[in-house]
Amino acid sequence: MQLREVTLLAIVLRILAAVICGGIIGLERELKNRPAGLRTYMLVCLGSCLIMLTNQYIYQVTASGDPMRLGAQVVSGIGFLGAGTIIVTRHNQIKGLTTAAGLWSSAGVGLALGVGFYEAALVAGVAIFTILTLLQYWDNHINSKTKAVEIYIVLDEDVPLGDFIHEIRQLGLKINNIQIDGNGSPEEGARGFLATLRSPKRCDHDVLIENVKKIKGVSYLEEL
């Protein structure tokens, strides 16, 4: 089939499809103000497509060599770009994993388009977009109902930590993994620390946070 071969029509179609697919996937990240957005995803998908086209062209013209060698380098090499989007915040939160995975998947779509595997690229592109958009709400719902809650809390300095832990237990919760925040800058007369709160059963995190905020000496609290 002509569209499976490296012809002018196939080149235009594949590159255009790569730009569109990469743009659609990247748009979702752009709207969420992530490190890699619309143009980054477009370039990754387009670049992967071009590399695969070049690989297929070399094999088609010379009739020798490994037709998948350049594509394999993309799969392993895209990791450096994804790693650049992963950051660890001052509260030891890891952010950017979804963006990095999206970049890697977008490269796969580009490779599929570059070699003319249109069907797989289309289905994968739709699946990636669905995961990044629709499934996020389900993911957020699950995370908001778990038994464990990671928190950052600022406690007045005149309130003993032991008293605070006692109040937490009075609420039927357990507290562990307490880490004093040496990188933060809480107000004078206050202490900041990280901790994990555990409920005996699944609970609404918003309700749990509000109950903990009512404890004497808590000046600031946020879920991580």
* Between residues 33 and 10, the one the model is more confident about: 10
Can you read off the two tokens belonging to residue 32? 């969420």
Cα–Cα distance for residue pair 195/181, rounded to 1 Å: 10
Q: What are phi and psi of 175, to 5 degrees?
A: -130, 130
Instruction: Render pLDDT for 59-105 as a digit per residue (tens, 0 to 9).
Output: 888 777 677 777 888 877 787 777 777 776 665 666 778 888 888 88
Q: Measure the CA angle with vertex 111, ends 107 and 117; round to 5°.
A: 135
Q: What are phi and psi of 180, to 5 degrees?
A: -70, 130
56 contact partners, CB below 8 Å, separation of at least 6:
6, 67, 114, 115, 116
107, with CB counted inside 10 A (0-12, 13-18, 19+), is buried
3-state SS class at 100: helix
3, 11 Cβ separation under 8 angstroms: no
211 contact partners, CB below 8 Å, separation of at least 6:
171
| Residue 223, Ramachandran bin (φ over 0: left; ψ between -120 and 50: alpha; else beta) | beta
In single-letter form, the type of residue at position 175 comes to: I
198-219: average pLDDT: 82
DSSP label at 158? T
How high is the pLDDT of residue 184? Answer: 53
Report the share of the chain in percent with pLDDT over 70.
87
3-state SS class at 193: strand
Instruction: Render pLDDT for 109-165 as a digit per residue (tens, 0 to 9).
Output: 998 988 888 888 889 988 888 888 877 777 666 766 777 888 888 888 888 888 888
Instruction: Render pLDDT for 15-48 as a digit per residue (tens, 0 to 9).
Output: 999 999 888 888 877 777 676 778 888 888 898 9
Lowest-confidence segment of 39-48, 73-82, 182-191, 199-208 by average pLDDT = 182-191
196, with CB counted inside 10 A (0-12, 13-18, 19+), is middle
How high is the pLDDT of residue 185? Answer: 54
115, 56 Cβ separation under 8 angstroms: yes
Neighbours of 14 (CB within 10 A): 27
